[in-house]
Structure 1
Amino acid sequence: MIERAFPRQLHPYWPTLQKRTRAWLLEKRLMSADKVAEYADGLCYTDLMAGYYIGAADEVLQAIADYSAWFFVWDDRHDRDIVHGRPAAWRRLKDQLHTALDSPDDHLGHSDPLVAGFSDSVQRLYSFLTDRWNLRFAGHFHEVIEAYDREFHNRTGGVVPGVEEYLQLRRLTFAHWIWTDLLEPSAGCELPAEVRENPAFHRAALLSQEFAAWYNDLCSLPKEIAGNEVHNLGISLITHEGLTLEEAIADMRRRIENCISEFMAAESEALRFADSLDDGTVGGKELSGAVQSCLGNMRNWFSSVYWFHHESGRYMVDSWDDRSTPPYVNNEAAGDT
């Protein structure tokens, strides 16, 4: 369905993006030189963003790609803190990220590379639009940090959330509204609330992110079963709905396919809404164009997510020496008990 209905695109800046994000990971000490050399390109982090935010200015896409690469490294640290039983280290990092989010300028030289790298990427993202957008972005990411904390406690306690509870939490751990917020600097326009809250626009945005989160769960299910995970839609279906592994996979595929169909219906309605914003004024024409850009990139998210999961070494668990330990992580990352 994806290959047929959602043609793949790639931002022309991508080759430079890949090179500069690789250098940024080294500069900020987020990955060791040997890990960057062996794995960074094959993880395809820059491919994912370059296939999504089409039309973004080069410096905007670079800031987003660096932030996205940071996000994956943070996700890996979170995982290793759980695996190695480091609750104090996780609590400290969580609190530091909350603080850095509100004042990134004050944490650029932080001793923890994750905090310093986060501050650098967020400071750059804050430079593109208004303080109002910055506050919205910060509010959304504060919620993401707290959702990661809930996942930490679920995983350390062996708690598998129920299906509906999991789906609500997944919207935060996948950072639905962060990636949606970043459509705006990519379009060069901060959208007013009445546009963002338009039912068709909001639904299209939600469905594009739901597809990505659920497809991620489908593709990462073998990795997460191997790692005794508890946070995956398939695992919730097996645990709470009594499904077999095969039945859970079929249920996930059905949800994903329905999500694609529902997006295309919402997209059509949202495009009509975008057209209606062009009232003959310069401002109306610019706003209409920005909304069309955002909707076009929601559509690009489907193909970008799809190809990322089939090309990134992050999901090639069968090629790992240890199916529960990704080879691209520092398995003894900074932390304590």
Structure 2
Amino acid sequence: MPADKIEEYADGLCYTDLMAGYYLGAPDEVMQAIGDYSAWFFVWDDRHDRHIVHRRPLAWDRLRTGLHTALDRPHEHLRHEDPLVAGLADSVLRFHRFLPGTWNTRFARHFHAVIDAYDREFRNRSEGHVPTVQEYLDLRRLTFAHWIWTDLLEPCAGIELPESVRKHPAYRRAALLSQEFAAWYNDLCSLPKEIAGDEVHNLGISLIVHEGLTLEEAVVEIRRRIENCVTDFLVAERDALRFADGLADGTVRGKELSLAVRACVANMRNWFSSVYWFHHESGRYRVDSWEDRSTPPYVDNEAAGGK
């Protein structure tokens, strides 16, 4: 954004408010780092979109490569000429202060996969390829960064959860449902913008192209899936809390893990209300008020990321 656009639009986009409603109970330093990273993520998403719209594959490849290397060697990229690369390096180094190196390695592994998924989306959109519904759902878990937002529950709780906890079916299902809700609700709210922009990456568009649904039928189907996420989460939440109770085995470590899982599951629940609020308060989705329904008015359409 140019400076005048920041003055006019930044607060109304509510990017940090979304995170503040999700990661309740986080220490201030952790919350600030997550809020800044969230704002960075939205800017990166917009840059990626502009590179596609203006057919800049070389610029995208430079950015993609820069992000991968900044993720692995953040100290070397704090003064990178591209503010997006430098911004990621800054976020990574701040996250590194909160939990052990094993968490840092996992975060990097998960975010490398997100960057690669954005690259697949770049190719799909450049070629006009609309993924099948299942292909889209699998890719969406990465482009929405399901496991990144789930990883960030742990520094908020002040503990790295062991793999046996993170991958337990009760914990993992609750985490997945909270993120699926968010991704599909985002698709529902983004559908007008993405249809206007000849997009190919949206659950609704995949349903229309591959399942033969009308626009109205696709909206009904997305809503059905979203509502099922809510009802299924209520069941998964009970299972996850029972799992948390079972971790309290009379040891100090057991009590610590039990409390941490309960805190993480509570914030999974918060994701529902925070995401719902965000999509109706943020200026990012008020496409009916935009001059061009495919392009947010706060984006510097020509200059973003170079030619």
Q: Same fold (TM over 0.5)?
A: yes
The one-character-per-residue Cα deviations of 1:64-111 (angstroms, maximum 9, x if unpaired) are: 010010000000000000011100000010001000001111100000
In 1, distance between residues paired with 2:105 and 2:127? 33
Provide the secondary structure at the position in 2 that maps to 1:51. helix
User: Which residue is equivalent to 2:154?
Assistant: 184
Report how far residue 300 of structure 1 moved: 0.2
The AA in structure 2 aligned to 1:317 is: V
The AA in structure 2 aligned to 1:79 is: D
Find the partner of 2:20 among 13, 38, 50.
Answer: 50
* Residues 47 and 305, structure 2, Cα contact 8 Å, conserved in 1: no
TM, length-normalised to structure 2 = 0.99
User: Which residue is equivalent to 1:41?
Assistant: 11
Report how far residue 321 of structure 1 moved: 1.3
1:174–1:336 Cα change, 3 Å: same
TM, length-normalised to structure 1 = 0.90
User: Which residue is equivalent to 2:177?
Assistant: 207
Report how far residue 334 of structure 1 moved: 4.4
Find the partner of 1:161 among 131, 135, 143.
Answer: 131
* Residues 80 and 333, structure 1, Cα contact 8 Å, conserved in 2: no
User: Which residue is equivalent to 1:323?
Assistant: 293
Provide the secondary structure at the position in 2 that maps to 1:120. helix
1:291 and 2:261 matched:
yes
Question: What is the total number of aligned residue pairs between the two structures?
Answer: 307
Find the partner of 1:126 among 80, 92, 96.
Answer: 96
The AA in structure 2 aligned to 1:314 is: R
User: Which residue is equivalent to 1:312?
Assistant: 282
Report how far residue 32 of structure 1 moved: 2.7
For the aligned residues, what is the CA RMSD?
A: 0.8
User: Which residue is equivalent to 2:240?
Assistant: 270
The AA in structure 1 aligned to 2:128 is: G
In 1, distance between residues paired with 2:97 and 2:303? 31
The 5-angstrom pairing of residues 1-12 of structure 1 reads none
User: Which residue is equivalent to 1:114?
Assistant: 84
The one-character-per-residue Cα deviations of 1:106-125 (angstroms, maximum 9, x if unpaired) are: 10000001011111111101
The AA in structure 2 aligned to 1:35 is: K
In 1, distance between residues paired with 2:285 and 2:141? 21
In 2, distance between residues paired with 1:292 and 1:35? 41
In 1, distance between residues paired with 2:146 and 2:165? 17
Of 273-282 and 79-88, deviating more is 273-282
Find the partner of 2:190 among 220, 228, 238.
Answer: 220
In 2, distance between residues paired with 1:228 and 1:206? 29
* Residues 86 and 335, structure 1, Cα contact 8 Å, conserved in 2: no
Provide the secondary structure at the position in 1 that maps to 2:22. coil
User: Which residue is equivalent to 1:144?
Assistant: 114
Report how far residue 284 of structure 1 moved: 1.2
* Residues 88 and 336, structure 1, Cα contact 8 Å, conserved in 2: no
In 2, distance between residues paired with 1:32 and 1:56? 31
* Residues 182 and 275, structure 2, Cα contact 8 Å, conserved in 1: yes
* Residues 107 and 119, structure 1, Cα contact 8 Å, conserved in 2: yes
In 2, distance between residues paired with 1:334 and 1:41? 20
User: Which residue is equivalent to 2:199?
Assistant: 229
The one-character-per-residue Cα deviations of 1:111-155 (angstroms, maximum 9, x if unpaired) are: 001011111111101110011000000000000000000000100
Report how far residue 333 of structure 1 moved: 2.9
* Residues 196 and 294, structure 2, Cα contact 8 Å, conserved in 1: yes
Provide the secondary structure at the position in 2 that maps to 1:76. helix
The 5-angstrom pairing of residues 220-259 of structure 1 reads 220-259=190-229
1:59 and 2:3 matched:
no
Provide the secondary structure at the position in 1 that maps to 2:300. coil
In 2, distance between residues paired with 1:187 and 1:336? 40
Report how far residue 329 of structure 1 moved: 1.1
In 2, distance between residues paired with 1:141 and 1:333? 26
In 2, distance between residues paired with 1:335 and 1:279? 53
The AA in structure 2 aligned to 1:34 is: D
* Residues 191 and 202, structure 2, Cα contact 8 Å, conserved in 1: yes
Unmatched segments (≥5 aa) in structure 2: none
In 1, distance between residues paired with 2:268 and 2:64? 30
Of 278-287 and 208-217, deviating more is 278-287
In 2, distance between residues paired with 1:332 and 1:164? 34
The AA in structure 2 aligned to 1:285 is: K
Provide the secondary structure at the position in 2 that maps to 1:151. helix
* Residues 52 and 297, structure 1, Cα contact 8 Å, conserved in 2: yes
The AA in structure 1 aligned to 2:85 is: V
